[in-house]
Amino acid sequence: MRRAELPLRRVPSSGIRRSASHPKDSQLTIEFSQVNKSFGGIEALREVSLTVKDGEFITLIGPSGCGKTTMLRIAAGLEEPSGGEVRVNGDTPKNACRQHQVGVAFQRPALLASRTALRNVSMTLEITGRDGALSPDELLTDFGLGEFHHHYPHQLSGGMKQRVNIAAALVHDPAILLLDEPFGALDELTREAMGEWLGAVLSRSTKTVIFVTHSVEEATILSDRVVVLSARPGRIAEIIEVGLPRPRSRASRTDEDFLREVARVRTSLYRAVELSN
């Protein structure tokens, strides 16, 4: 399982860092205020208010149908709220996309079957232009895919495909990263390794991340705050600050503190599930 270890070995100077195109003085925030969303009479979100701070890693967790994906899609400008609004740095999500500030990755990798890993990543730059961008070459190598630049998606494992997918979401160096269950389709061990890998990748950057997952452990090890949602309609049940020092690694998964935090999140999740029924 070379793919589990490689990415953590080196941190190149060209790594993922906030580049000059995102000046530090502007404090980036994503603000949900009183967001409602219904799909044909079905209420998906009710009065969701949340402020995501600059550089924060936020996880949305909750029973299925709680609207966590909808929240993410609204933040990405892919859905319009039925009521309330979402502001990214005081602007609409669509404008944030226009300024190439947003990177998204979904559970199913958004890769073109007829492009190699490298060309799938550079497709992002073909669209956004190369200003302030990272090198697709170096990024893939950094992600432990050095030997797989010229492989097609069908020749890669699920974990590798997802890393190419996240590289494609990161390569234009957006300030915001929106991840919708990126590891949901992977087996348990790969998933753990990928979670650890993502944590390491993001620890070297100051990106603001909204992450959707079903896994309590994944949420706990990666997040600054875990937002627990309840379903029907989707609303915020509780927000939990994860009190674990960084950097966190796989070793922390057996830590007592970690297990205590996991228990906190899980308890809250159970309460949210009860609230949903």
Partner 1 sequence: MALPGKAVVFVDLANDRTKRMSDRLAYLIMIVSVPILWVLAKLITGFPDFLLPPPDMVADVLWTERELLASHTWTTIVEALTGYAVANAIAIALSISFLYLPWMESLALPWTVIIKNVPFVTIASILIIILGDTPLPKIIIVVLITFFPILANVTKGLKSADPVLLDRMQTLDSSQWEVFTKVRWPSALPYYIAAHEIAFTGSIIGAVVAEWLFARKGLGYLIVQSMSQYRADRVWAVTIVASALAVGAYLLVKAIEKYLFRWQVQDLT
Q: For binding to partner 1 (CB under 8 A), which residues are involved?
A: 76-78, 97-98, 100, 102-104, 106, 108-114, 123-124, 126-128, 151-152, 154-155, 168-169, 172, 178
Note whether 49 and 34 are within 8 A (CB).
yes
Of 48 and 168, the one with the shorter C-beta distance to partner 1 is 168
Of 180 and 192, the one with the shorter C-beta distance to partner 1 is 180
Of 52 and 168, the one with the shorter C-beta distance to partner 1 is 168
As measured in angstroms, the least distance from the Cβ of 277 to partner 1 is 30
Of 11 and 123, the one with the shorter C-beta distance to partner 1 is 123
3-state secondary structure of 25: coil
DSSP 234: B
Of 102 and 237, the one with the shorter C-beta distance to partner 1 is 102
Note whether 71 and 239 are within 8 A (CB).
no
Q: Determine the number of helices (DSSP H) and then strands (DSSP E) in the chain.
A: 9, 9
Of 9 and 154, the one with the shorter C-beta distance to partner 1 is 154
As measured in angstroms, the least distance from the Cβ of 61 to partner 1 is 22
As measured in angstroms, the least distance from the Cβ of 74 to partner 1 is 12
Helix axes 117-128, 158-170, angle to 10 degrees: 20
As measured in angstroms, the least distance from the Cβ of 106 to partner 1 is 5
Of 116 and 205, the one with the shorter C-beta distance to partner 1 is 116
Q: What is the 3-state secondary structure (H, E, C) of 129-158?
A: CCCCCCCHHHHHHHCCCHHHCCCCHHHCCH
As measured in angstroms, the least distance from the Cβ of 6 to partner 1 is 17
As measured in angstroms, the least distance from the Cβ of 149 to partner 1 is 12
For the chain, the farthest-separated pair of C-alpha atoms sits apart, in whole angstroms, at 51
Note whether 74 and 80 are within 8 A (CB).
yes
Integer Cα distance of 105 and 128 in angstroms: 16
Dihedral sign, Cα of residue 144, residue 213, residue 86, residue 236 = negative
Burial profile 199-217: b = 16 or more Cβ within 10 angstroms, e = fewer? bebbeebbbbbbbbbebbb
CA 209 to chain CA centroid, Å, is 5
